[in-house]
Structure 1
């Protein structure tokens, strides 16, 4: 895995968070060559999100946006595994997770937390030291 690419994705997510904007999956995929497998791209995205914050408490991956404005299943899977109580509170116990309205509630709340986190980083001047070492465990 190209660590520079992971750092580029993390920087892109942090820039977007500071500007309170979203990142399209097209922007993410533009960082990769055509031959790069999707699995590798999404692993780099997860590593980038993890380098900015522990995904179990705050997931920068929520800033990713499909055409419908929601992050992809990768975010919702991490959220469901990392914060099962919070997920069930919104989606309902045993939910298949298909409700776009409920997904939007989760994504919007997480995006507000990420925007606040990024503004605290900017206000403290810790931007250069923001990226955490890559943890060995996944965000899931």
Structure 2
């Protein structure tokens, strides 16, 4: 794992959260060389999200945005794994998770929570401490 790359992604996500904006996957991929496999890019993204908050309670990966404005499957897979009851409440029991409308409900709610978390972190003067790893979380 490249800790500098993970730290760069975490800083990019935190800046975006403080500015209440999203990050395109193109911005993420621009941080890597062409030879870097997608699997390691997404692992670095998950590690960066984990460094900002325990993804079981708050996932900064929701700030990633595809052309349709939604985060990618990486976010929804973590969300379904880490918060199955919340996922089922929105998507429905046994859902294949294909509803764009329902995905938007999940993403929008999580983004509001992340924006609030980032503003509280900034207001409390904890910006320097906001990149502490949550090693015990399961944000993969």
Q: Distance in 1 between matches of 2:39 and 2:137?
A: 17
Helix, strand or coil: the match of 1:57?
A: coil
Structure 1 consecutive aligned stretches of length 4 or more whose deviation exceeds 6 Å: none
User: d(CA) in 1 for partners of 2:4 and 2:39?
Assistant: 17
Corresponding residue for residue 116 of structure 2: 116
Counterpart residue number, 1:69: 69
CA displacement at 1:135 relative to structure 2: 1.4
Cα distance in 2, alignment partners of residues 111 and 97 from structure 1: 19
RMSD of the TM alignment (CA)? 1.0
- Provide TM-score, normalisation by structure 1: 0.97
For residues 87 and 37 of structure 1, what CA distance do their matches in structure 2 show? 29
**TM-score normalised to structure 2 length:** 0.97
Query: Secondary structure of the equivalent of 1:20?
Result: coil
Matched residues, number = 140
What whole-Å deviation, never above 9, does each CA across 1:86-126 have from its counterpart, x for those lacking one?
00000000000000000000000000000000000110111
Structure 2 unaligned runs (5+)?
A: none
Residue 24 of structure 1 contacts residue 64 of structure 1 at CA under 8 Å; is this kept in 2?
yes
